[in-house]
Amino acid sequence: MTESIWNGFKRLDFNFEGRYCILICPDNAVEGKKWLYRTEYFGAFPDLELSMIKKGYHLAYMTNTTRMCPESDTDMRHKFCEYMSEQFGLNSKCALIGYSCGGMQAVYFAAKYPQHVACAYLDAPVMNYLSWPFALGMSQDDRSQEFIDNMGMSLSDLLNFRNHPIDQKEKLLKSGVPIMLVSGDSDKTVPFCENGQLLYDYFKQNGGNIELIIKPGGDHHPHGLTDNTPIVEFIEKYY
């Protein structure tokens, strides 16, 4: 384990079952040692996380085998959460922070292991592989070859695939995990109408706990809000 400084806070780098991990420690931990789990793209658009660290939340990250989210990565998150509690004394539940691919990773994880999740903030989450990375709808970002190489499934396989992120909606609803959903209405990479809106509509139709913030004219980047106060308040409300 090595120690350094990240944005003014203590950073610990370590390995867990062959995976590279990071833990950022607040100066004064909030009661219950609550923590944020960034599922992908550690360090990108960190303003929200910095705000939460200043409030006493820890921030953790573990590398994935691929951002496309095979089930083995989801299962490893379960082990990681248990390890973080045992090794560092962190809360048995975390607040998931998922941007784009990290959003779909958060969905798979919360649906399968809700016992580890207090709430989830999803920002422009991938919910439909046909929309992204295969760009069969409105998306202008075709990353299909990356998916084929990492997941071993072709477009033909996906036509009969019934385990897209959006297919986790029933389990996610049943879990009771509160969701904060943020998206730009002009996202050309992961279009809201083909992805996040599917989850939002299902939750609203079935009494799910979900909040939505749409950024007028917003593209896929930047993630987060100009003022992240609504997201901070959401996390503090449910965790």
Residues 47-66 pLDDT 10s: 999 999 999 999 999 999 99
163 inside domain: no
137 inside domain: no
Q: How many domains does the chain have?
A: 1
Q: What is the CATH number for 78?
A: 3.40.50.1820
Query: Which among 33, 30, 101, 103 has a CA at the least distance from the CA of 68?
Result: 101
Instruction: List, for residues 112-140, the tens digit of each pLDDT value.
Output: 999 999 999 999 999 999 999 999 999 99
CA dist 155 → 1, 125, 138, 186, 211 (Å): 42, 20, 17, 26, 33
Which residues, 6+ apart, have CB-to-CB distance to 23 below 8 Å?
A: 11, 12, 14, 58, 59, 60, 84, 88
107 inside domain: yes
- Give me the pLDDT at residue 137, please: 96
**84 pLDDT band (50/70/90 cuts)?**
very high
Beta bridge partners of residue 23, listed in sequence order? 12, 60
User: Residue 33 and residue 25: Cα distance in Å, rounded?
Assistant: 10
Residue 16 lies in domain: 2-126+170-238
What does the pLDDT average to over 160-169? 96
Looking at residue 202, its amino acid is Y
141 inside domain: no
40 inside domain: yes
Spell 200-212 as b/e; 16+ CB within 10 A means b.
Answer: bebbeeeebebbb
Which residues, 6+ apart, have CB-to-CB distance to 18 below 8 Å?
A: none
User: What SS3 class is residue 103?
Assistant: helix
Query: Which among 120, 121, 100 has a CA at the least distance from the CA of 112?
Result: 120
Q: Which residue has the tokens 């950073």?
A: 11
- Give me the pLDDT at residue 194, please: 98
Which residues in 84-209 belong to E strands, given as ranges? 94-99, 117-123, 179-184
pTM of the shown model? 0.96
38 inside domain: yes
User: Residue 64 and residue 105: Cα distance in Å, rounded?
Assistant: 10
210 inside domain: yes
140 inside domain: no
